[in-house]
Chain A
């Protein structure tokens, strides 16, 4: 069973200006693990990619909701779940290939999943066409969980 020490859930509107907001919220939550600057940068980059995927790909013709769930697991691990109820990905394996993009005209580099994969420890992607996509990422930080009073 997961040893969940803290958690947070939020729903944001899938507008591109909220990419920065999502990064800020996640890095503020991760701060309790006393991460290094590099660890925070890695987390911010991974979150930015996942949220941008929702905005650009999951909801191509509308502004939809993006659900973000964060947990501190044990003393040193951050868990990040980013979920949408968009169009889904027909072939997840193909979508995760570096440089694969369905949006070259908007200059997407096709590196979103490659960034998540290389900057975080674990990445899992579940998707169903017509229902949406769920991305779960975890990263173990070398910092220390700060015990708090009730």
Chain B
């Protein structure tokens, strides 16, 4: 599994790794949503430090989770994206989530 989750009550951190494409994103989505809906955190943090490659499926993954967490007023943040990931996030206007 290329997602590790760490839950500290209010914050859920998703450590993503490997390559995120349409194939991999489907599994990641399922895994993250299970924990999101169970614990309903105030913030989800996507840690991209282990992600070597991402296409726009990664954008869909982030936007989809934002949609889920905003259901109860939660927010999202992104940490440690590599240059390609940063470029992809900027294309989608999501660079403002990087902290």
Contacts and interface: CB of A to CB of B under 8 A. Distances in A.
Interface of A: 16-17, 19-20, 23, 38, 41-42, 44-45, 48-49, 52, 55-56, 106-109, 111-112, 114-115, 118-119
Interface-centre pick from A42, A55, A109 (highest chain B CB count, 10 A): A109
Interface of B: 19, 21-23, 25-26, 29, 53-57, 59-61, 63-64, 83-84, 87-88, 91-92
Contacts, number: 69
A44 B53 contact: yes
- The majority secondary structure among interface residues of chain A is helix
16 contacts: A16-B22, A20-B19, A23-B21, A41-B84, A48-B57, A49-B55, A52-B22, A55-B22, A106-B60, A107-B25, A107-B57, A107-B60, A107-B63, A109-B56, A111-B56, A111-B59
A42 B84 CA distance: 8
Q: Is the interface of B mostly helix, strand, loop or mixed?
A: helix
A44 B91 CA distance: 16
B13 to A, nearest CB: 21
B53 A23 contact: yes
